[in-house]
Structure 1
Amino acid sequence: MLRMTPRHSSHAQSAPWRAVSIIALTGLGLALAGCQTAAPISAISIDESQGSEQNIASLTAVIRSNPGNPESYNVRGAAYGRAGEFRKALADFDKALQLNPRFYQAYANRALIHRNTGDITAAAADYNKALQINRNYDVAYIGRGNLYRQAGRLDEAMRDYERAIALDTTDPRAYHNRGLILQLRGRHREAIEAFSTSISLSSESPEPYNGRGISYAALNDDENAFADFNHAIQLDQSVAESWSNQALIYERRGETEKAIRSYARASQLDPDYQPARDGLSRLRKS
């Protein structure tokens, strides 16, 4: 199953679904930047091992030996998706669905490719089809929820995430993305709980640490916020949001030189990242 990676990258800024929320911190005259996993990012994480020529050649050999097996096309389509060869991935998912029109996993996989290429209408249709076939498919609820969130339809997105959670999903995206919506609504304690659950399911991504840190900071718990931002940096030093969030805590502590260095690092990673630019401008003026 293809999965949307939960990782934001400064290199993915051109992606149409990338979203950044700015959460005002009451009475402090500062703002904290939050990284939102609106698919961020590249909706599909490129995996050189799964998308290697050798792996795809092996999968092609399997298809040649049994061309009527839809699962083989689904697996190779996933490999093509991981390799960034989206046209070939779509062709394989189309073939899998031709062979088995009720192959709901292939619909969800094809939806992710459509989303990655910007065809949101086709992506929504495929998620809906997957759910018509299997109303208990958590992956499709999460994927469709992400489309709703991308469109600003937060109530519908929340319902889909909560449906996935009610199905006992172990996919951390359901909790992470639910946390983002709770955060936008100012329900920070609930957001912290959601991000913590996401972390418990997958602790290798910086996004839920950034998200949880933002809510900690909104509650004036700078110690826990700082710990989360630092951990996000340890996990991936290429994420501008993490450095900018760390800088804000330094700024709130009055550690101006450290704040400037962290804002500068964020700006170096992503020259267009506005919170870092604003932070540098604010500190240099003062």
Structure 2
Amino acid sequence: MVRDLRQWLVSVVLMSVFTTWLMLGTTPALAAPVLLTDPSKSAFDAGVWAYQSGQFAEAVQVFTEAIEADPQLASAYSNRCLAELQQALEEQAIADCTHSLELNSANPNDYLNRGLAYYRLMHPRAALADFNQVLELMPENYRGYYNRGLARFDLEDYEGAVSDYDQSLIHSPALPNARKADIYNDRAVAYLALNRPQQALADLNQALELNQADSRAYFNRACCHHQMGNWKASLKDYDRLLAVNPDYPQAFFNRAILHQQMGHTQAAIADLSQAAHQFRDLGLGIHYQQALKLLRHLQEPPSAWG
């Protein structure tokens, strides 16, 4: 017999996978131009040009040359950190931000970027400390609030995360709609973790008003409806999402569980098969094995009772 999948549903609903864009665009402006003496000036200028051209490895190299010419040049360390973050070189970025802060402890962007690096390395407490420093220096910095909300969420301080997302929205009136939608998305996930689905639903509706192409909002709203027992509404959101974004294995996985609960066994099998293939292709071994396990349960013939 197919075993009860209710326990699986709890974990699936709260997984609400979100793609963090973190600093509302992870690259704040490069450090302001400063009066430098050659050769540090020419290397620094070359680093800025390389970075703005998307040549991040080249930017690291020429910012290094600027540092070698002037080891006290804080802005070169700061900007080299940005180029390293673009290449997922978090450890190097932390070292450079730390060195820059030793030379200039009042630069909020260094705390912001170092916090990002810590967050990516799954050190939310260190990230939280840096985002606190950002807000000490710039109390109305929406990026600091947003990032601190992410760190607090990882630390399971969901109320704190909601409060920070609130402040991020208050202090970002000119933010593009797609970016505001991201904040509403993440606040909704925090509300779901607090078992406040009605508030989560309101945020997700707002996110979709701001950005009708927001796949994450459809996914999260489907999870929210599922948690509230609105199965038809949940299925409709998964259908919308997968119609425009068919490469979304977690959505196939979640929809399979929903289909199973609604008695749509063949549809559940089809969705689990698709989820398993996509998880495998993405190298997500644990998720792949979970999908296979559920698929085998659904494909088992009913046990005979005698």
TM-score of the aligned structures, taking structure 1 as reference length: 0.72
Aligned residues: 260
* Cα distance between partner residues in 2 of 1:179 and 1:125: 24
Structure 2 CA distance, aligned partners of 1:46 and 1:160? 18
Contact 1:176 1:198 in 2 (8 A): yes
Query: Within 5 Å, which residues of 2 pair with 1:157-168?
Result: 157-168=161-172
Question: Do 1:32 and 1:214's aligned partners in 2 also have CA atoms closer than 8 Å?
Answer: no
**Partner AA of 2:16 in structure 1:** Q
**Partners of 1:32 and 1:245 within 8 A in 2:** no
Q: Residue 197 of structure 1 aligns with which residue?
A: 206
Query: 1:88, 1:103 → 2: CA distance?
Result: 18
Look up the match of 2:295: 280
The answer to whether the 8 A contact 2:149-2:165 is kept is yes
| 8 A contact 1:59–1:72 mirrored in 2 | no
Q: Spell out, residue by residue over 1:119-143, the C-alpha distance to the aligned partner (whole angstroms, 9 max, x if none).
A: 3332122111111101111222222
| Identity %, equivalent residues | 18
Which of 126, 130, 144 is 1:122 aligned to?
126
Q: Give the structure 1 partner of residue 16 of structure 2.
A: 36
Structure-to-structure mapping, 1:32-111, within 5 angstroms? 33-34=12-13, 35-37=15-17, 54-58=55-59, 60-61=61-62, 70=74, 73-111=77-115
In 1, are the aligned partners of 2:56 and 2:86 still within 8 Å (CA)? no
Shift in alpha-carbon separation, 1:267–1:203, aligned structure 2, 3 A: same
Aligned CA RMSD, in angstroms, stands at 4.0
Please name the residue that 1:259 is paired with. Answer: 268
More strand by share: 1
Alignment of 1:177 with 2:186, yes or no, is yes
CA distance in 2, matches of 1:166, 1:240: 34
2:239 is equivalent to residue 230 of structure 1: yes
**Mind listing any 5+ residue stretches in structure 1 that lack a counterpart?**
1-22
Cα distance between partner residues in 1 of 2:272 and 2:128: 38
Asked whether 1:136 is paired with 2:136, we answer: no
Q: CA deviation at 1:233?
A: 3.4
Q: Which has the higher contact order (CA 8 A, sep 6+)?
A: 1
Letter in 1 for 2:105: P
Q: State the structure with more CA Rg.
A: 2
Contact 1:175/1:198 (8 A) holds in 2: yes
Q: TM-score, normalising length from structure 2?
A: 0.68
Partner SS for 1:33: helix
> Which has the larger share of helix?
2
1:240 deviation in Å?
2.9
Say whether the 8 Å CA contact 2:22–2:116 is kept in structure 1. no
How far apart are 1:229 and its partner, in Å?
Answer: 1.8
Q: Work out whether residues 135 and 144 of structure 2, in 8 Å CA contact, stay in contact via their aligned partners in 1.
A: yes
Number of the residue aligned with 1:12: none
CA deviations over 1:31-64 (Å, ceiling 9, x no partner): 57233357779999999x9799833424654775
Q: Cα 1:24–1:203, aligned 2, differ >3 Å: closer, same or farther?
A: farther
Counterpart of 2:12 in 1: which secondary structure? strand
Query: Contact between 1:216 and 1:222, CA under 8 Å: does it hold in 2?
Result: yes
Alignment match, 2:196: 187
Aligned equivalents of 2:23 and 2:299: distance in 1? 37
Structure 2 runs not aligned, ≥5 long: 28-49
